[in-house]
Chain A
Amino acid sequence: MAAIPGDGTSSIRDEPRSASHAASPPLVIGAMMAWLAITWMVGLRQGFLFLVGIGFGAILAGVSFGFTTGWRAWIRDRDPTGFLAQLLAIGLAMLVSIPLIAGNEELTGAIAPLSVSLVIGAFVFGAAMQIADGCGSGTLYKAGLGNGFSLAVLPGFIAGSFIGAAHLDRWLALGSLPPVSLPEHFGVGLALVAQLAVLGALGTWLWRKRKRTDTRWQGRGIYVAAVLLAVFAVLNLIIAGQPWGIVYGLGLWGAKIATWFGADLAANAYWGNDAHQVRLESSLLTDVTSVTNLGLLIGALIAANFRGRARPATSASGKQWLVALVTGLVLGYSARLAFGCNVGAYFSGISTGCLHGWVWFVAAFAGSFVGIPLRERLGLKA
């Protein structure tokens, strides 16, 4: 079976390449028009961020750079390729991001507290993302490609993110330590050396434990993509003033829909916060995370069309559709408890030197060991 961008399900198949190639020029023109419209309507910054989002989507879909699949390929087959590419991307982004943030107070990292909710949320997210075969970015862009399973996951993900954020104060009441920024605690140099050492040691261990396998990522493309992902992550930081994130945008979309149906969120501990109220009242096009999410969707669609893999046929049983809906809800809810998904917490947390990124990684990776057998038990074998 040919690889689907960012996934590994046997229930999803590619269609002939020739069918999709013809759609690429209109898509590129459409993306350019969307960029012009966003720039005209909400400004240059949001326009640039939309382009950055297109870059993220094109990279992820262009080489099937899946965070979820990278972990699963190593856990199940001891194929380290995807996992090593993730570490490379994080390490490269970190080498630029940490000094940039340290030297420019207008830039902020993905700084989150070390809470009980972080450990629980990340563990559950790690398990659920294996069942759903996609993290925040993976679910988003596969839905844009028309993957039915991800389309079923996405509404739950949006609702879960909204509800999880709304309940965050109760979860934080279970216990929480203040955020720990490694560069602020140990200095930029030591933080960089320590994190590089851990990433390097982890990469070496993954490589030593590898087994001979037909990896889904052939050639150097996945590593080129890792370098490009790091470049775009730094661009996101420079333009937005904050690192790349996904889940806040999804929760915001859910909160907006809730308010359209009459929900009053002004009294809620999270959504009632002044900053979030402003976001709720403003267009989502003015929100940093939402506009990169939209760009990611379009970028993935363009890249998948270029590869001829834009319309993965989907077949699933009724039970599996139900699983998709419930898993989406769990993914969104747990991501909010954990202060982000693979992107906002794992990638951006570690690459900006926040300890919560490492805690997230350990808990979510442990969760994946639970999620992979569960996925197979539910008939969603890769």
Chain B
Amino acid sequence: MKLTRTAVFAATFWVTALAFVAIDWSRATPHNRFDEPPPWQLGQDKVEGASHCAAPLTSAPVR
């Protein structure tokens, strides 16, 4: 199979991405499997700490 420049780009990207996830996992606080949130949020107690692009610096009152 002819190896195109784009294939090399794609392969480099995916290797980098996998390495990033692996390094991050190795450096992160060990995950507590007994403290996982329920499978879905609807109908469950609110889980604090989830972050979204729209979240401001602090919780502001909503008008």
Write the residues of chain A forming the contact surface with B, with a CB cutoff of 8 angstroms: 15, 19, 41-45, 48, 100, 104-113, 143-148, 151, 168-169, 172, 178-181, 184-185, 238-243, 245-248, 252-253, 256, 260, 269-270, 273, 275-276, 278-279, 281-289, 294, 297, 310-314, 335-336, 339-341, 343-345, 348-349, 354, 356
A113 CA to B45 CA, complexed, in Å: 26
Chain B residues at the A interface, C-beta cutoff of 8 Å: 1, 4-14, 17, 20-21, 23-25, 27-29, 31, 33, 36-58, 60-63
**Cβ–Cβ contact A288 & B50, under 8 A:** yes
Contact A43:B51 (CB < 8 A) given known A239-B40, A256-B24, A273-B57: no
* A residues in contact with B40, CB < 8 Å: 45, 48, 238-239
* B10 close to A184 (CB less than 8 A): no
Q: How far is the CA of A180 from the CA of B12 in the complex (A)?
A: 43
Question: Are A311 and B52 in touch, CB under 8 angstroms?
Answer: no
Set of chain B residues within 8 Å of A310, measured between Cβ atoms: 10
Asked if A106 and B41 make an inter-chain contact with CB atoms under 8 angstroms apart, the answer reads yes
CB distance from A14 to the nearest CB of B (A): 10
Could you say which residues of chain A place their CB within 8 Å of the CB of B28?
A: 281-284
Are A313 and B5 in contact (CB-based, < 8 A)?
yes
In Å, the complex CA distance between A15 and B4 comes to: 10
In the complex, the answer to whether A42 meets B52 with C-beta atoms within 8 Å is no
Q: Is the CB of A239 within 8 A of B13?
A: no
Main secondary structure of the interface of B (DSSP, over half): loop
> Are B53 and A344 within 8 A (Cβ)?
yes
| Inter-subunit contact B53/A245 (CB<8 Å) | yes
> Is the beta-carbon distance between B42 and A238 smaller than 8 angstroms?
yes
**Contact between chains at B21 and A113 (CB < 8 Å):** no
Q: Given the complex of chains A and B, what is the CA–CA distance between A343 and B54 in angstroms?
A: 10
The contact sample of 30 A-B pairs, CB cut-off 8 A, is A15-B6, A45-B40, A104-B42, A107-B42, A108-B52, A112-B56, A145-B10, A146-B6, A146-B7, A146-B8, A146-B9, A148-B5, A148-B9, A178-B60, A179-B62, A241-B41, A242-B50, A243-B52, A245-B54, A246-B53, A248-B55, A252-B51, A275-B48, A279-B49, A287-B51, A311-B7, A340-B53, A340-B54, A344-B54, A345-B54
- A143 contacts B13, CB within 8 Å? yes
Q: Is the CB of A41 within 8 A of B49?
A: no
Known contacts being A15-B4, A146-B10, A285-B25, is A278 close to B49, with CB within 8 Å?
yes
Instruction: Name B1's closest neighbour in chain A (CB-CB).
Output: A19
Cα separation A314 to B13 with both chains bound (whole Å) = 14
Q: Is the CB of B38 within 8 A of A45?
A: yes
Q: Contact between A284 and B21 (Cβ–Cβ < 8 Å)?
A: yes
Q: In the complex the two chains form, what is the Cα distance from A287 to B51 in whole Å?
A: 8
Return the chain B residue nearest A185 by Cβ: B63
Within the complex, what minimum Cβ distance (angstroms) separates A177 from chain B?
A: 8
Residue among A19, A108, A269, A349 facing the most chain B CB atoms (10 A cut-off): A108
CB distance from B59 to the nearest CB of A (A): 10
A77: min CB distance to chain B, Å:
27
The listed residue (B6, B38, B48) touching A314 by CB distance below 8 A is B6
Q: Which A residues are CB-close (under 8 A) to B17?
A: 144, 294, 297
The smallest beta-carbon distance between B44 and chain A, in angstroms, is 6
Residues on the B chain within 8 Å of A341, using CB = 53
